Structure 1
Amino acid sequence: MSGHFDLAALDMLVAVVESGGFTAAGARLGRTQSAISVRIQDLEHQLGHKLLERSRRGVVPTHAGERLIAHARRLLAIQREALDDLGGSSASGRLRIGIPDDYVDAFLRPLIARFAAEHPKVELELHCDLSKRIEPAVAAGEFDLAVVTQDPRRPVGEVIRREPVVWIAARGHRPELQETLPLALFSEGCRVRPRLLACLAEAEKDYRLVFSCSHTSGMLSAVEAGFCVTAVTESAVPATARRLGPADGLPALFDLSVGLIMGPQPGLAARRFADALREEMAAPRLAA
């Protein structure tokens, strides 16, 4: 194995994984699919490992590919920092971000202030919506980057975090003891909602929908009022809530894959924010 990496090839490898395929990576990098394929094959030959494979989810990294991509992102970030430093360039302009609101408090709130201080010429524009509506908006160029809850049947974007989903209820209230579970859920269109209902159906747990809302704050307000239970991501559990599970008569739940999607030809501000977001999302969360 030679003693150096082709950084352009590493950039192509990362783009294929983040974009979900060679076609999208080619559009993002302005290169042909064949050119990208050849460079990645050269990497595989150099390392003696297969790096990518095709599955029903599209193009996904092998175990060796995942390990290399982790190193590649650090190397590419260092390269960008060096070029920015020597070239005197800085991120500027408007950065449009799409994200479901249940990830804002846990991950964007601590990041936004730090990013704004480090990049004062960037105007941040945040749009909260359901993941199923955010994804096509990124493809249409309406957002520069987005964070989404991936559809397990057709995942889009680079996985930057796995989030457990947990049942919660208010402290001092026991709505889970009712014979028919009083349930609060996100509105129709939420990707988690049908999976929660499937878990209840499989466990033969009777429920009645007593509250629905399109925003996390509304859901948590209903739970805090004490008349219902809901399920949220681990990072969104407030300190005022109790976690529930099989010992409380509720079925065990699942993990969500949180995806990062980059718009076509992302600018410096989007790339910098994506790097900061990967770091923030990788950090462990303290239990509430």
Structure 2
Amino acid sequence: MIREMKTLLSVAQLGTFVAAGNRVGLTQSAVSAQMRSLEQAVGTPLFERTGRTATLNAAGQRAVRMATEILQIYERLCTPEQPDGYHGSLTLGAIASAQTGMLPAALVHLRETAPQVQTKLVPGVSLNLLSAVDAGELDLAIMIRPPFAVPKELRVELLAQEPFVLICPLDLPGDDPLQLLRDQPLVRYDRHSFGGRLVSNFLREQRIEARAGLELDELDAIVRMVAAGLGVSLIPRAGLWLQQPARVRVLELGPLTFHRELVLVLRHAQHRQPLIQLFRQCLGGTGETADQIGGDALTTRRHSPS
């Protein structure tokens, strides 16, 4: 009945079988079947059903309170009290900037907390990582938020928002980001990537026809290309601390600033597993942001485009 009680709490929180199904990765009919099974187990109706609507009755509200207590006890039962109680493996996917950003500190924390756990890191771009999580090949992935709805079986949790900035060679004159984008070749963040689509949207909104230049997906390579004098680029600020030796000039976009969102993607069915929860705690405790890393290698100016 653990699964049914989890679904009951989702119904209580979200108000409808459809919304609860989307959260836990079930169809509306499957949620209905679970609720009927739970009602049979407890021996009383939990909902007042009118047409296509179902509202928790007094017994249902009592069941929600008790199910909350039972699930809290169940989670404590499944969570080891000692670090050596965690066993098994964790297969984790991550985009490049996460591998050199928030992930190392999180993995150190995980190893200290659960030394018996084996971790496998799989690099990749966001679209491929999303597909791998959906297919069950990865337990979870750190990636850029997709610009479309993810399968209902997947859960997306926000980790960080990273502002985009314009970068240019140190010796290139000019402080107007929009004018530099119009005048200079663009070292373009791959327009097929999730982050690159944000750049394309920005250029379209500003009615800028970018001059042909390089197009690539690796942020550290983009920084190096710009530092070498091959053009200017719009990248998330996180990419600036990937290459400490590369010196570039940074222009912020002021009120035109847009962001990419770094998210954790996993399956709804797994998000309460003790090892998954432990990793999320380790990830949340890294305490580092892009602005805290690599600042000495940059020359930054603020600009408010007209």
Asked if TM exceeds 0.5, the reply is yes
Question: What does residue 126 of structure 1 align with?
Answer: 121
Give the structure with higher Rg (CA).
2
SS at match of 1:258: strand
Question: What does residue 207 of structure 1 align with?
Answer: 210
SS at match of 2:159: strand
8 Å Cα contact 2:25-2:268 kept in structure 1: no
Question: What does residue 107 of structure 1 align with?
Answer: 102
Which ranges of structure 2 fall in alignment gaps of 5 or more residues? Answer: 37-45, 48-53, 63-67, 296-306
Which string of whole-angstrom CA distances, capped at 9 and with x for unpartnered residues, describes residues 92-118 of structure 1?
222111121122222102211121122
Question: What does residue 270 of structure 1 align with?
Answer: 276
Q: Does 1:141 align with 2:142?
A: no
SS at match of 1:92: coil
Equivalent-residue separation in structure 2 for 1:241 and 1:36 (angstroms)? 59
Relative distance call for 1:158 and 1:207 in structure 2 (3 A) is: same
SS at match of 1:192: helix
Q: Report the alpha carbon displacement of residue 214 of structure 1 after superposing the two structures with TM.
A: 3.1
SS at match of 2:79: helix
Aligned CA-pair RMSD: 4.2
Question: What does residue 159 of structure 2 align with?
Answer: 161
Equivalent-residue separation in structure 2 for 1:200 and 1:178 (angstroms)? 9
Relative distance call for 1:262 and 1:198 in structure 2 (3 A) is: closer
Question: What does residue 252 of structure 1 align with?
Answer: 256
Equivalent-residue separation in structure 1 for 2:291 and 2:35 (angstroms)? 41
Question: What does residue 291 of structure 2 align with?
Answer: 286
8 Å Cα contact 2:93-2:138 kept in structure 1: yes
8 Å Cα contact 1:99-1:148 kept in structure 2: yes
8 Å Cα contact 2:157-2:264 kept in structure 1: yes
Which ranges of structure 1 fall in alignment gaps of 5 or more residues? Answer: 1-7, 48-71
SS at match of 2:166: strand
SS at match of 1:259: strand
Equivalent-residue separation in structure 1 for 2:166 and 2:197 (angstroms)? 18
Q: Report the alpha carbon displacement of residue 218 of structure 1 after superposing the two structures with TM.
A: 1.6
Equivalent-residue separation in structure 1 for 2:90 and 2:261 (angstroms)? 24
Matched residue count: 244
SS at match of 1:182: coil
**Which stretch shifts more, 137-146 or 87-96?**
87-96
Identity level (%): 17
